[in-house]
A and B are shown apart, each in its own frame.
Chain A
Amino acid sequence: MGYSSGRMLLSQREGQVFRFPTWVMVGVPLAAILFQVYVPLFFPILSFVEMPLLVLVYLALMRRSQVAGLLVGAIIGIAQDSLSKNPLGMFGICKTLVGYFAASVGMRFDVDQAFIRLLLSFFFYFFHQFLYWVMQRALLSQQPVFDYEKWLIFGALNAVIGVALFHFLDRLRESA
């Protein structure tokens, strides 16, 4: 075990950092937020899709930088907060932590594999929902329902959507 087992999970793309054009770094999160805001107005059935979260997870995984991940998460989260009725910072804190941990995971796993992406999308969706539930109780003194069954189902659906989205976003990245 001189060589850590965690490192064994990396493929030949170990250490490879992907960069994105500026318009992608700005436009894709913005489009995700707009999707989150407008699409459920016309298709309420799609309200379960956490598009900003999936974009954040993808960018953090690909950049493999914790600082970049948490900053992207904070910006997306606060933007999402500003468009919601929640106090500023609720989504911001959740997504900051998601971005940080996603970047940390991206440094250790081969995130180009579809199955890994599926698992990570599912895990971060559940983590995000749980974190938001905790903050609602702790900071807003609310009593939200701990509906883990719904989270599991929506997490699976978001994971499937996330795999497809990640495949599409792969076309926009460029190697550093």
Chain B
Amino acid sequence: MESFLNRYRNITVLLLVIFAQLVLLALQVKNDQDVRIIRVWTITAVTPMARMVEAFRGGGAGFIRDYIALHDTNAENRQLRAELGRVKVENVFLRNELNTAERAKALQVFQAHTPSKLLGATVVGAGAGSGSKVVFVDAGSTRGVERGMAVLTPDGIVGKVIAAYPTASEVLLVTDPDFAAGVVSQASGVRGTLKGQGTPMARVDYVPVEEKVAVGDWFYTSGDDRIFPRGFPAGQVKVVRDGRPFKEILLEPSGVQHGVEDVLIVIEGAHQDIPAAPPANQPVYIAPAPPEPKPAPTAGDTPQAAAPPNPQQGTEADKLRNAYSAVGQAQGYKFGEPNPKPPDFTKIGVAPAPAAAAAPPATPAGKPAKTNDSTRLSNQAAGAPHEGKQD
């Protein structure tokens, strides 16, 4: 040792002097965090050693605890396994609750912005028949569901009610071989009949070969079948082949693409325009409509008890009722009270008297309900995401 020090005496002295001055520097200088460098160096030098000592101590203690003193380990292991299982189940339950809440919110938004009167329902069971695509929903005749009503989701049509029971309804899915619905192409306006095949894909029949249909085109309900209102998405074309005498078109139904859990039953349908653009893949949040501006009250005005119903809004039945009410009021007839003579409803469609100037334009009796200007206006007011009309 002595010979070693003698041999490296100069360099040793150099290192000692440099070290002493470094310590002197570190005592004075602070780093960016206003901590003296001597503290930084000391902690940096001590911490690894402390970590090693702690690792050695912890390792020794852990070895003794884990490999030598193993009492109660088995019972603790069983308890932890049971707790883990319970937490897993709870996690699945909470995830399902979250998904349900999100679906319910999406349905609620869709329901509020669709002119049709819709009833929310949840799928509670599937049909027992092999190959049949039938589900049961928890809304039945007591809630107004009737056989033949359309069933859909915001993504597209799902099926139609084939039986309505008091507390549940049976829904034939769009993929069932017995299902059929009238559809129209969004791009070219070609009409066809959507039929299920018993597979995830459905086909569109009766499209002539000379018509133009391309892969990726969207088909919407045409309303011709009197079940599905016009303007709801049916699905996207995946395969197009030329056949004789009709094209062979395979379509992926958009309503059942991601499974069916929560659905909407169309209680009173209202035809819509077919949107110019295909539906977006991702759901978009739609903010509530801004409040109507209130007119400033003037002196002498009497507050109105209730605003009169807008005859341009509501279902076709609402509009028809408004038209009859307007004609009755124009003739001085008071509904719900004894009147000398019944109103003359043959005046429907005739320009009303000035007293009934505020009455809405009446729909000609017997004319089938179809998409008209009032429907279009109500659709646009409801925030339907389309700009044009393809009739």
Residues of A within 8 A of B (CB): 66-67, 70-71, 74, 77-78, 87-90, 92-93, 96-97, 100, 139-141
Task: Select one of B9, B11, B17, B28 contacting A88, CB under 8 A.
Answer: B28
A169 to chain B, nearest CB (A): 24
Q: Which of B10, B31, B32 has its CB near the most chain A CB atoms (within 10 A)?
A: B10
Interface string of B11-37 (1 = CB under 8 A from A): 101100110011011001101100001
Which 3 pairs across A and B sit closest by C-beta, in order of nearness? Answer: A89-B25, A66-B10, A89-B21
Q: Give A101's nearest chain B residue, CB to CB.
A: B14
Q: How far is the CA of A97 from the CA of B19 in the complex (A)?
A: 12
Q: Give A90's nearest chain B residue, CB to CB.
A: B25
Q: How far is the CA of A61 from the CA of B317 in the complex (A)?
A: 113
Consensus secondary structure, chain A interface = helix
Q: How far is the CA of A70 from the CA of B14 in the complex (A)?
A: 7
A26 to chain B, nearest CB (A): 19
Number of residues on chain B facing chain A (CB within 8 A)? 16
B10 to chain A, nearest CB (A): 4
Q: Tell whether, in the assembled complex, residue A96 and residue B17 are in contact, meaning their CB atoms are under 8 Å apart.
A: yes
**Residues in A whose Cβ lies below 8 Å from that of B21:** 74, 77-78, 88-89, 92-93, 96
**Residues in A whose Cβ lies below 8 Å from that of B10:** 66-67, 70, 100
Query: Can you sample 6 A-B contacts with CB below 8 Å?
Result: A67-B13, A87-B29, A88-B28, A90-B25, A96-B18, A97-B18
Q: How far is the CA of A100 from the CA of B18 in the complex (A)?
A: 11
Q: How far is the CA of A141 from the CA of B32 in the complex (A)?
A: 8
Q: Tell whether, in the assembled complex, residue B14 and residue A139 are in contact, meaning their CB atoms are under 8 Å apart.
A: no
A4 to chain B, nearest CB (A): 19
Q: How far is the CA of A67 from the CA of B29 in the complex (A)?
A: 27
Q: Which of A71, A87, A140, A141 has its CB near the most chain B CB atoms (within 10 A)?
A: A87
Q: Tell whether, in the assembled complex, residue B22 and residue A71 are in contact, meaning their CB atoms are under 8 Å apart.
A: no
A94 to chain B, nearest CB (A): 10
Q: Tell whether, in the assembled complex, residue A93 and residue B31 are in contact, meaning their CB atoms are under 8 Å apart.
A: no
B35 to chain A, nearest CB (A): 12
Q: Give A104's nearest chain B residue, CB to CB.
A: B10
Q: How far is the CA of A67 from the CA of B10 in the complex (A)?
A: 6
- Given contacts A139-B37, A141-B31, whether A88 and B24 have CB atoms under 8 Å apart is yes
- Given contacts A89-B21, A96-B21, whether A67 and B9 have CB atoms under 8 Å apart is yes
A124 to chain B, nearest CB (A): 16
Q: Which of A70, A140, A141 has its CB near the most chain B CB atoms (within 10 A)?
A: A70
Q: Tell whether, in the assembled complex, residue A89 and residue B24 are in contact, meaning their CB atoms are under 8 Å apart.
A: yes
Q: Tell whether, in the assembled complex, residue B18 and residue A93 are in contact, meaning their CB atoms are under 8 Å apart.
A: yes
Since A66-B13, A71-B17 are in contact, a sample of 6 more A-B pairs with Cβ atoms closer than 8 Å, ordered by chain A residue number, is A67-B9, A70-B10, A74-B17, A87-B29, A89-B21, A89-B28
Q: Give B12's nearest chain A residue, CB to CB.
A: A67
Q: Give A95's nearest chain B residue, CB to CB.
A: B21
**Residues in B whose Cβ lies below 8 Å from that of A66:** 10-11, 13-14
Q: How far is the CA of A141 from the CA of B10 in the complex (A)?
A: 31
Q: How far is the CA of A74 from the CA of B14 in the complex (A)?
A: 10
